[in-house]
Amino acid sequence: YLTFSVHPIPAARSRPLTLLCRATTMLSVRVPLLHITDPQQLQLSPLKGLSLVDKVNRPPALSGTRVLASKTPKTKAAAPGVEDEPLLRGNPCRFVIFPVEYHDIWQMYKKAEASFWTTEEVDLSKDIRHWESPKPEERYFISHVLVFFAASDGIVNENLVERFSQIVQITEARCFYGFQIAMENIHSEMYSLLIDTYIKDPKEKEFLFNKKADWALCWIGDKEATYGERVVAFAAVEGIFFSGSFASIFWLKKRGPMPGLTFSNELISRDEGLHCDFACLMFKHLVHKPSEEKVREIIINAVQIEQEFLTEALPVKLIGMNCTLMKQYIEFVADRLMLELGFSKVFGVEIGEYQRMGVVSSPKENSFTLNADF
């Protein structure tokens, strides 16, 4: 039972307050702070543990305040051993940003925030008349890549909403995931605008890319997969599945058509690179990581699917690129991802500088520093 001892105050200034307690319900009187003089009452004040210095809010201890929700957050994707993983462990302070505990994760969020852009910044007015310049097979390739991109961003968001945002409990990562969801929406809107600009026949907009989509969706629906395995899988989606398609559009840039397409591709590829880097950072923070054997299996599977997509299902030879060199490029990107995850290379591919399109970029500009020629 909770008991309160208050000094008498004029009746005109009193106001009933219903206090909901676990064991009993009782009526009390809300006392203005100016009338509280009893030291014991001051100790009970919820303002006592609140610091506004430097805008850093440290919430009062839960033991001294009324608890309106469970101290232990409920997670849909809780798995055995979650309490042993700091990133996934129940965190009652996850609703308050400060004080920052994971500074490296927070800096990634701020970096993403600084890279914000909207579709209104991309001028598509010149692309309409440029669309007739490429050959029919080049237009076919571009349109189908855009459809793949548009749907893939929706799949990435599905994973963020249904999985990562549900299970990860640290505030800094939740901030990043929330911002990533917003950026993926912008990417999807951008691709939809490009599709509507180039493709006027609704039937042409229907395209099946079953293997790539199904592979990603399987990782969302797999209830047995650990958070660490999903992190690797979606690092592969954003780091490997997108890499070849990004490179193909960058390759078209040297020919000069469709400035809106190439500029938006630069912005989106920069964002996806950051998302992939964040996945690697989260992986490094895990206490219980998947084995190197499991990680290699995931990466190799993703590479095989991407190589098949760009050399058979939608071959880059349609736009004059070399399929063999594209396969090597995808393996090169996969090796870089393996190193970022803390493991050794899988393929050990050495590629020429001319093939590094989509990998090496200037930190000060959106434009890429090397002009690839596959």
Catalytic residues: 191
Residues 6 or more apart in contact with residue 98 via CB below 8 angstroms: 55, 56, 57, 58
Rounded-to-integer distance, Cα 45 and Cα 225, Å: 45
What does the block give as tokens for 329? 């490029």
Residue of 330, 324, 307 lying closest to 247 (CA atoms): 330
Q: Are 286 and 221 in contact (CB under 8 A)?
A: no
Q: Are 314 and 141 in contact (CB under 8 A)?
A: yes
DSSP 3-state of 361: strand
Rounded-to-integer distance, Cα 186 and Cα 67, Å: 38
Residue of 197, 194, 239 lying closest to 216 (CA atoms): 239
Rounded-to-integer distance, Cα 292 and Cα 209, Å: 29
Rounded-to-integer distance, Cα 141 and Cα 155, Å: 21
Q: Are 330 and 355 in contact (CB under 8 A)?
A: no
DSSP 3-state of 300: helix
Q: Are 185 and 223 in contact (CB under 8 A)?
A: no
Alpha carbons within 13 angstroms on the beta-carbon side of residue 57 total: 9
> What is the residue whose two structure tokens read 């596959």?
374
Peptide bond into 60 cis (omega under 30): no
Residue of 369, 332, 323, 322 lying closest to 352 (CA atoms): 332
Buried-exposed string 259-280: b where 16+ CB fall within 10 A, e elsewhere: bbbbbbbbbbbbbbbbbbbbbb
